[in-house]
Homo-oligomer: A and B are copies of this chain.
């Protein structure tokens, strides 16, 4: 098994474990910062290390277009390219093709699309997306899937999950053929290979979700992702879908929910037994001046902060909260200074990573109730 996964503590459905990737150990549940173009926007890799990021996600679609897979492969893969020795995961590119490409044509073979950058024509298939991910060389890669839109009629969701299953089988087959082409150069990685995850689809139909889960597990992957969530559905439906799906995934394999969530949601999902999550929210919100704190959200552009000498979050130990005032962060944001994005992103990531650290600690202590009631109180106070 290319990806050992040792569960060390449990608390209800939640689990705390260690994922042994070729580029180091990852404690789960883990939140993965998103580094779309092999960079978490505005945050240097040494800062990610300092924050305790263990696993970073990069987007195959974006890297395929720029700088191109070959440019990364020639240098020894993404780790070498971006100067990051810890673990990496790439998505399959499917989600971005559907969300970013202005024109796309789906067929059994794959997806033909136009680049959102220059309109040039490209094709991604389960085979080419797998090749791209092998050559990019992340530790964990994803089967090429079709992300079912929301809302989708049942028939459409069914067709989409069937296509995703056929693509999953082709992704797996291709991976077996190609997996030794991973461009890692280090001697201690000789002979090691990446891990391939399958993705469960099925729209918001619980029976389809169960069917997709069962048949994806039958195909057999190193880990299982639940896709097609956070696509605009009400949060209750997200929870329902996770509740229907998670029990059907193998207990001993990592479970990854893609593209979620708020700081409160990631606590809830971890409590349900999710091991891995990723989301652009901490860095994207930071760019819009929306900051997450232990006391709730702060919209730093608010004039009320102009003379506020307090740290952003007195309960946070990050570099930003240790050094800078709300007044200064507000000034940087209001002035359009690039340092605003740097500091805001750093803080929001610290908040997410600290939240997940607290989750792991609580699971080890065998009691998540305190954390859960805290985040629920925060959600209710907003509602």
Contacts and interface: CB of A to CB of B under 8 A. Distances in A.
Interface stretch (A11-19, A104-112, A153-161, A325-333): A325-333
A307 interface: yes
Interface string A332-372: 10110111011100000000000000000000000000000
Contact of A39 (B66, B327, B339): B339
A59 to B, nearest CB: 12
Contacts of A332: 37, 39
Nearest to A341: B338
A67 B339 contact: no
Contacts of A43: 339
A83 interface: yes
Contact of A335 (B37, B75, B309): B37
Contacts of A46: 319, 323
Given A75-B307, A83-B323, A337 B41 contact: yes
B331 A342 contact: no
A306 interface: yes
A331 B83 contact: no
A237 interface: no
Interface residues of A, number: 37
Contacts of A150: none
A39 B334 CA distance: 13
Contact of A309 (B38, B39, B75, B307): B75
A101 interface: no
A339 B41 contact: yes
A307 to B, nearest CB: 6
Interface string A307-326: 10100000000010001110
A305 to B, nearest CB: 11
A67 B342 contact: no
**How many copies, total?**
2
Given A81-B325, A83-B325, A319-B44, A37 B75 contact: no
Contacts of A74: 307
B75 A338 contact: no
A42 interface: yes
A331 B75 contact: no
A128 interface: no
A338 B83 contact: no
Contact of A338 (B41, B331, B335): B41
Contacts of A81: 325, 327-328, 331
Question: Quick one: which of A37, A41, A335, A343 has the most chain B CB within 10 A?
Answer: A335
A338 B42 contact: yes
B42 A342 contact: yes
A45 interface: yes
B66 A335 contact: yes
A306 B67 contact: yes
A331 B67 contact: yes
A82 interface: yes
Contact of A342 (B75, B83, B328, B338): B338
Nearest to A40: B339
5 contacts: A37-B331, A41-B337, A67-B335, A71-B331, A75-B307
Task: Give me the 8 closest cross-chain CB pairs, A-B, nearest first.
Answer: A42-B338, A83-B323, A39-B339, A67-B331, A83-B324, A37-B335, A39-B337, A338-B341
Given A41-B339, A42-B338, A45-B323, 16 more contacts: A37-B331, A37-B332, A37-B335, A41-B338, A46-B323, A66-B334, A66-B335, A71-B306, A71-B327, A80-B325, A81-B325, A81-B328, A81-B331, A82-B328, A338-B341, A342-B342
